[in-house]
């Protein structure tokens, strides 16, 4: 469904283009709308027609972002057993695997992804940011998993689940136990008032507007919305 400020418009997805759950949506300036979902489901809407795209994976696709039809990134992992993960890159509807995780886990590295890629974000064709467990990476556009660590957990914590930004020096991340942080291009600020290893708060997604930041999740079987404004 789409809200234009006056009314809602529905877009029916044909069965030949989609089956399963929808987990994330992303659109670009050219008018293309992409949706990703369960067991590798991927489709694109061009304003009039839905087209099924081949992802080449059976992993659940959980996040998508890009700069245009010629630069689309997708991340995901198997939500049933956490035993596989992928990072995909697409150019004009054709996607290739740039990273794939399959057991056994080989431990953390300081030069490459090694685990579950939970979320991605980019504002440049030169690089993409990615979350891998408790590590935040910046990867080049040519990556096959290699990259630079921009933050690595040194204390006990949970899974980082979502990353969004306005620019390379204005990035937010959110995750389990109420973890919420901001990168200003030089250092990270973590909002400790929300973080509690003994609590039930889990932040599943974060998004940003011109000055607004919103993180959503759950605690004690209830929905939680955290809203902030930047000055």
- Domains of the chain: total: 2
User: Has residue 92 got a pLDDT over 80?
Assistant: yes
Nearest to 230 by CA among 168, 151, 170, 186: 170
Same domain, 126 and 198: no
Same domain, 125 and 190: no
Torsions phi, psi of 144, nearest 5?
Answer: -125, 40
Domain ends where: 123, 152, 181? 152
151-188 b/e (C-beta count within 10 Å ≥ 16 → b): beeeeebbbbbbbbbeeeebbbbbbbbbbbbbbeeeee
Same domain, 27 and 134: yes
Nearest to 208 by CA among 70, 65, 39: 65
pLDDT, average across residues 169-193 = 96
Rg (CA), the chain: 17
The mean pLDDT value of the chain amounts to 94
Give the structural domain span for 188: 156-231
The pLDDT of residue 72 is: 98
Q: How far, in Å, are 69, 198, 202 from residue 155 at the CA level?
A: 39, 14, 17
Same domain, 54 and 90: yes
Q: How far, in Å, are 80, 169, 174, 209 from residue 224 at the CA level?
A: 24, 27, 13, 19
Same domain, 73 and 182: no
pLDDT digits (tens, 9 = 90+) for 67-86: 999 999 999 999 988 889 99
Decide: pTM greater than 0.85: yes
Neighbours of 66 (CB within 10 A): 24
Q: Can the peptide bond before residue 104 be classed as cis, meaning omega within 30 degrees of 0?
A: yes
Same domain, 167 and 146: no
Same domain, 187 and 144: no
The pLDDT of residue 146 is: 97
Distance CA 148, CA 94 (A): 26
Same domain, 193 and 92: no
Sign of CA dihedral 5, 8, 12, 18: positive
Torsions phi, psi of 84, nearest 5?
Answer: -155, 155
Same domain, 77 and 24: yes
CATH of the domain at 141: 2.120.10.30
Domain ends where: 102, 136, 152? 152
Q: Give, for 94, the enclosing helix (H) or strand (E).
A: strand 94-101
Domain ends where: 107, 131, 152? 152
User: Has residue 108 got a pLDDT over 90?
Assistant: no
Same domain, 194 and 139: no
User: Has residue 197 got a pLDDT over 80?
Assistant: yes
């Amino acid at each position: 469904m789409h809200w234009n400020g006056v009314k809602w418009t529905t877009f029916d997805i044909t069965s030949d283009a989609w089956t399963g759950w929808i987990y994330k949506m992303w659109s670009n300036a050219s008018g293309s709308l992409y949706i990703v979902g369960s067991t590798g489901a991927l489709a694109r809407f061009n304003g009039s027609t839905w087209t099924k795209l081949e992802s080449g994976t059976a992993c659940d696709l959980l996040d998508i972002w890009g700069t245009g039809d010629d630069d689309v990134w997708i991340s995901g992992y198997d939500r049933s057993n956490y035993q596989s993960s992928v990072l995909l890159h697409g150019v004009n509807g054709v996607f290739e695997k740039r990273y794939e995780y399959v057991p056994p886990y080989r431990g953390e590295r300081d030069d490459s992804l090694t685990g579950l890629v939970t979320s991605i974000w980019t504002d440049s064709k030169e690089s993409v940011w990615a979350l891998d467990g408790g590590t935040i990476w910046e990867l080049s556009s040519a990556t096959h998993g290699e990259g630079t660590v921009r933050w690595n957990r040194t204390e006990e914590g949970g899974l980082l689940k979502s990353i969004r930004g306005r620019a390379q020096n204005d990035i937010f991340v959110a995750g389990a136990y109420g973890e919420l942080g901001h990168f200003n291009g030089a250092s990270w600020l973590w909002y400790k008032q929300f973080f509690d290893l003994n609590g039930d708060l889990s932040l599943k997604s974060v998004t940003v507007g011109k000055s607004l930041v919103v993180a959503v999740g759950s605690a004690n079987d209830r929905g939680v919305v955290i809203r902030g404004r930047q000055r």
